[in-house]
Structure formats: C-alpha cells, structure tokens
Structure 1
C-alpha cells in the first residue's frame, strides 16, 4: 500500500458518497487479526490468520518461508488481505514482496514490538525471534503488500458506503 490517494468509486453504481482511503487505511492499521489469502501451486486458495502492521501507508506482515503461505507467495506473490476493523469490512488485493532493507525492517520490527510486544532481531534481511510457535521456526521474511484494488463495506455502523479503491 502506499500513501498516494487511489482512484475511489462507489460500488453502488451511483454518486453515493465513498469512504476516503485514509479512513480505510486507519481501520486496516487498527485490526486485531488479518486474514491472508494466497494461491497454492494447483490453484487452490489458502487462507491463514496473521499479525500485521501498517507503516508509511503500507501493510507489512511476516511469514516463515517454509510455511504453506510462504511457499505460495514465493511461487505467486498475488494475495488478498482481509480484516474487519473500525466498522468496515476491508479486503485488499495485491502482490506481496519481501522486504530486505535493514532500515525498513528495523522500523517494522519497532512497530511489531509496539503493537504486539514481540521483540525481534533483524539479521540477514529477516526477522529472527522466539515466541511464534504457530508461525514456524523462522527466520521470518517480512512482506509488504503493493495493492491493486481494495474493497470496503460498512459492517457495524452503516457509516461506510460500499467503496472500491484502485491503485
């Protein structure tokens, strides 16, 4: 994701008001659980819950390369991240790319510590850490999602009209 404002349109096919992307991005940043969908080599979908953070308008998550989702992303970076947060159901379709830049990895690590109280060591372009038994043994690659399109639907308050964002 990025800080540039995407093209926004109503999915109702009329001039209904749309949700501004910064408002949707804020909801994405406050979610408790993220659902990542990837594509298996045989075309089957694969969905897993994960922890993630938003940094500089971009969604990041970490994944053990040997996990099913990690292997799927290595073969095909297309993915969907879905959440329910801040009164909006949000899905973001895009491509996940591995982050190797130490400065960015350190900033992502700081956010993981702040948000999840999970200390990680940045080494050799990856996260090295204890305490993620369901995520595999590590090290963990950090991925950044470059969005293509996102969809938002009001889920609790009705304040959000169905909105499409194209990047």
Structure 2
C-alpha cells in the first residue's frame, strides 16, 4: 500500500484559472466517508463491467467484497486492473473521485477481522461479517475481500473554482 504522499498535479485544461491542485488528505477523507462506490472491471472479452458497491478505506487502500461467482470476481481472475469511483451527481458542487489500481485479494484472517469491524462501524450491524477460511462470512454466503491501493487517482472539484487534480503514486505508470 502506498505510504508516501503522491505527486499532485493540476490539469489546467480542465480547471479554473484560480484553481490549485487538491490535497490528497482531503481526497482520503472523502474516500473514507463515501457510502457507495462504483467498481469498473473488465470482462474476459474486453467489455467493461460497472457495478455499485459498498467498501471501506483502510491502510491506504479501498476495500470491497464480492461473492466468488459474481461477475466482478470472475473478471478479476483474468484482469485485476480496476477503477473505483465515488462522488455526487451535481454539476456545481462537491468532488468526484476516481481511484485506479490493482485489486489484490485479502485473505489474512487478522486483517479480515479488522476490515469486518470497519464495515460494521461504517454501515451498521446489517453488514456484520464473520471471518473464516480467508473470507467474509455473512449468513449462508461467503465473500472474497479485495484491496485497491491507488496507482493513480483523480479528483474533479466542481463549482468555483473547478479543478482537475491527478495524484500519482510512487512506482505508478
């Protein structure tokens, strides 16, 4: 997971004259507070697959879970590169965020227990997960857990000033 501050650049082509690059710490706060994220994966035939889901920001990464036979899990078996987005559907206020990275399976039970606690703290007891055999267990179902550490992230500040910030993390392309 990235441990250093990313390089932030403002894309002046898509920003107001008075805009400055947004702070990564503000983006992290927004990522942690968001309740719904949109995950984009790639199907084996190359077509995109987009789905809303819930998740948590922990240890410098966004985490999400999915059943092993769901479309997103199947897609990740052949291509772990993903984009996660969150924000608001307004034009003149708020900030939209895009996190690009690789979805890496989390199976270490101590870490999964910590993440399960974070899910319940954020979303309530309806989202209580037990942990067994390297997965979340909920009722009769099981869910694989994935972490996406940002390689590149984008922030789209809306309203005045408009601003498009790109954050690049060490070693990202």
TM-score (normalizing by structure 1): 0.88
Is the partner of 1:110 in helix, strand or coil? helix
User: How many pairs were matched up?
Assistant: 160
Secondary structure of the corresponding residue to residue 12 of structure 2? coil
CA drift at 1:161:
2.1
In the alignment, which residue of structure 2 is the partner of 1:128? Answer: 137
Alpha-carbon offset, residue 2 of structure 1: 3.2
Q: Which runs of 4+ in 1 moved over 3 A?
A: 13-16, 157-160
Tell me what 2:21 maps to. 18
2:18 and 2:3 mapped to 1: Cα distance?
A: 25
Does the 8 A contact of 1:88 with 1:160 survive in 2? no
Q: CA RMSD in A?
A: 2.0
Are 1:100 and 1:126, in contact at CA under 8 Å, matched by a contact in 2?
yes
The answer to whether structure 1 residue 104 and structure 2 residue 146 are counterparts is no
Structure 1 portions without partners, runs of 5+: 131-136
Shift in CA distance, 90/124, structure 1 to aligned 2, threshold 3 Å: same
Q: CA 1:60–1:126 in 2, change beyond 3 Å: closer, same or farther?
A: same
Residue-by-residue CA offset, 1:108-160 (whole Å, 9 max, x unaligned): 00011111121111100000003xxxxxx6310110002221111013x4456
TM-score by length of 2: 0.85
**Match among 141, 164, 167 for residue 165 of structure 1:** 167
Deviations 1:13-48 (A, max 9, x none): 699521111110110111121000000000000000
